Amino acid sequence: MSETTKKYTIAVIPGDGIGKEVTPWAQKALEKAAEGVAEFEYEHFDLGAERYLRDGAILPEEEEDRIKQTDAILLGAVGDPRIKAGILERGLLLKLRFDLDQYVNLRPSKLYRGVTSPLADPGDIDFVVVREGTEGLYCGAGGAVRRGTPNEVATEVSINTAYGVERVVRYAFRLAMKRKKHVTLVHKKNVLVNAGDMWQRIVDKVAEEYPEVSHDYLHIDATTIFMVSDPSRFDVILTDNLFGDIITDEAGAVVGGVGYSASGCINASDEYPSMFEPIHGSAPDIAGQNKANPTAAILSAAMLLHHLGFDDTAASIDAAVEADIEELGSTARSTDEVGRDILARM
């Protein structure tokens, strides 16, 4: 390693359930890929269900400050059936996405050779969902009155700012320039006329600066049909926070299961670290059994490397994963076996 090799600090948050089993493999892949290229130091954070049940802490300020000082974050999964829905999701995962202003939730979907799609005729699937990450229905705007009474009122308000929308729209067009140069805006502008119209106008305006990129529009309901009838039509799908959450789960299923789907929560202005995680959850039903597929976690390590500018190094992980899936994708293997097999190819 040369003396000029740059040092990076990576925050590792395995979290809950299978997150604890797959994240070590993401870290090992990162370590191996980075050998001789960059120096990575890892800072582990004990955050998630166990910690919360032990001492009530979800994301203490001092720990969040340390996370903010790192160069990137590897996250496993968050969620535990012993804890009321929303506490860890809002208090840990979404708090990080919001506080670190990770406004692009980047979710590629690719049908690898060797994977059986549930679709009879899937075609060549290779698209990326650019999901807005800091606004929409996820903001937490709303509340409840007369809770628990027959007259209860509950509201959740979708927040859409021109600033927040424009920055993610720009990201989508820049990304399309590096791909097949097509952006599909997905919304529900026939009903959500305020937000939908603003998204469309901003897309139309930004598109003028990218004459090489074509763009079209689909309602979210129609998108769910095309996702199973003609998924190879998509290149870059641009959408808001909640639509993006839903459509990426469907996309994961279409490419053979979320075990192959990685994601990045990106702060594209690099003001704070970006965070990389498999899109699957903590899967309590199979946790602790060495059954979970670590492939998505390993692919998120590759996305992390891409983000830090190590494109060739990232490509070495992608290639190992692709070769592994092609040869052994349909073989039943444990978490550790898949991890070892992928690393052996790097």
Catalytic, out of 8, 52, 103, 138: 138
Give the one residue of 245, 292, 305, 322 binding ligand IPM; rule: CB under 6 A.
Answer: 245
Q: Which does 94 bind (CB under 5 to 8 A by kind): ligand IPM, Mn ion, none?
A: ligand IPM
Considering CB distances under 5 to 8 angstroms, the limit depending on partner class, which of ligand IPM, Mn ion, none binds residue 38? none
- Say how many Å lie between the first and final Cα of the chain, rounded: 18
Give the active site residue among 171, 188, 235, 260.
Answer: 188
Q: Where are the beta strands (DSSP E) in the chain?
A: 7-15, 39-44, 72-77, 104-110, 126-132, 136-145, 153-159, 182-187, 214-219, 236-239, 262-266, 274-278
The only residue of 49, 59, 94, 297 in contact with ligand IPM, by rule CB under 6 A: 94
Is residue 131 annotated as involved in ligand binding? yes
Tell me, by CB under 6 A, how many residues bind ligand IPM: 5
| CA 102/CA 263 separation, integer angstroms | 12
Contact indicator for 323, 301 with CB cutoff of 8 Å: no
Q: Are 167 and 203 in contact (CB under 8 A)?
A: no
Q: Which residues contact 2 (CB under 8 A, 6 or more apart)?
A: none
Is 293 one of the annotated binding-site residues? yes
Does residue 250 bind ligand IPM (CB under 6 A)?
A: no
Binds 166, which of Mn ion, ligand IPM, none (CB < 5 to 8 A, cut-off by type)? none
Whether 249 is a known active-site residue: answer: yes
The answer to whether 138 is a known catalytic residue is yes
Distance (Å, whole) CA 11 – CA 252: 26
Identify whether 221 is a catalytic site residue.
yes
Q: Considering the rule CB under 6 A, would residue 89 count as an interface residue with ligand IPM?
A: yes
| Residue list 230-249, contact with Mn ion (CB under 5 A) | 245
Q: Which of 249, 272, 318, 341 is catalytic?
A: 249
- Which residues in 128-154 are b (16+ Cβ under 10 Å) and which e? bbbbbbbbbbbbeeeeeeeeeeeeeee
Q: Is 245 a catalytic residue?
A: yes
93 binds, among Mn ion, ligand IPM, none (CB under 5 to 8 A by kind): ligand IPM
For Mn ion, the closer CB: 51 or 280:
280
Closest CA to 172 of 219, 127, 216, 130: 130
CA gap 42, 81 in Å, rounded: 29
Does residue 215 sit in helix, strand or coil?
strand
Closest to ligand IPM by CB, 86 vs 309, is 86
Considering only residues 97 through 156, tell me which ones interact with ligand IPM, judged by CB under 6 A. none
Q: How far is the CB of 210 from ligand IPM (least distance, A)?
A: 28
Check whether 141 is labelled as a binding-site residue: no
Q: What is the DSSP-derived secondary structure letter of residue 189?
A: T
Contact 297, 76 (CB under 8 A): yes
**Amino acid type, 51:** R
Q: From 16-24, 41-49, 86-94, 171-179, give the range in contact with ligand IPM by CB under 6 A.
A: 86-94
- Residue 93 interacts with ligand IPM (CB under 6 A): yes or no: yes
- Point out which residues bind ligand IPM (CB under 6 A): 89, 93-94, 245, 279
List the binding residues for substrate.
Answer: 97, 107, 131, 221
Residues noted as catalytic? 138, 188, 221, 245, 249
